[in-house]
């Protein structure tokens, strides 16, 4: 385990949202990191639905919306270890969600917390995904974090890559107007 004063942790100004966006769209990641957060201003129906779902589910959890520096975890459960729980609207970006949760596990480990797994909840589809974090995930996550840092260091916006989900993205007007 690394402690919170390690150089690796101190360098991180990366959020879980950034990790997720790395897997979804590098352009969206860059814009978000520069303070352009279209999801808070767009009135996008998918964004609104996600926020309502997030607020309505798991209200009984005592350890909700835990914030550590740049990390905001939906809720934690405790047993023999700490389990990270994330609530998501749709499984459409499941890989991105898994890596976001793995980043949270990694972050907690760097803080000295005994955490090796978590759960992603998809309440709308009554589905959940158990996520484990191991040494191989740590190696891959280091590559992802390096990739994010490289994108954020670029002085210009990454080019748009049209994908089938772009038309429903909160950043659509920014990219295509």
- For the chain, percent of residues with pLDDT exceeding 90: 49
SS3 (DSSP) at 142: helix
Domain boundaries, the chain: 7-172
What are 23's two structure tokens? 């897997």
Starting from the edge strand earliest in sequence, which strands make up the sheet with 127-132, in order?
64-68, 71-78, 82-87, 115-122, 127-132
pLDDT at residue 56 is higher than 90: no
Note the pLDDT tens digit of each residue in 131-158. Answer: 999 999 999 999 999 999 999 999 998 9
Q: Tokens 């350890």 — which residue? A: 63
CATH of domain 7-172: 3.90.320.10
Burial 13-25 (b: 16+ CB within 10 A, else e): ebbbbbbbbbbbb
Say what the pLDDT of residue 170 is.
83
Identify the top-confidence range among 42-46, 73-77, 78-82, 137-141. Answer: 137-141
Maximal CA-CA distance, the chain? 51
Q: Could you tell me which of 45, 37, 14 has the C-alpha nearest to residue 171?
A: 37
- Backbone torsion region of residue 2, taken as left when φ is above 0, otherwise alpha when ψ lies between -120 and 50, otherwise beta: beta
């Amino acid at each position: 385990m690394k402690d919170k004063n390690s150089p690796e942790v101190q360098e991180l100004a990366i959020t879980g949202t950034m990790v997720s966006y790395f897997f979804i769209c590098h352009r969206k990641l860059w814009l978000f990191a520069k303070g352009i957060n279209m999801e808070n201003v767009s009135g996008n129906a998918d964004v609104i639905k996600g926020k309502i779902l997030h607020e309505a589910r798991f209200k009984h959890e005592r350890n909700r919306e835990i914030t550590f520096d740049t990390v905001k975890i939906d809720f934690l459960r405790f047993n023999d270890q700490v389990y990270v729980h994330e609530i998501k609207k749709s499984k459409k970006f499941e890989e991105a969600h898994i890596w976001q949760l793995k980043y949270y596990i990694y972050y907690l480990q760097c803080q000295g917390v005994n955490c090796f797994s978590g759960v992603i909840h998809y309440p709308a589809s009554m589905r959940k995904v158990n996520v484990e974090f191991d040494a191989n995930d740590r190696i891959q996550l280091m590559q992802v974090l390096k990739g994010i840092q490289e994108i954020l260091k670029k002085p210009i916006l990454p080019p748009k890559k049209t994908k089938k989900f772009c038309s429903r993205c909160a950043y659509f007007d920014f990219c295509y107007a």
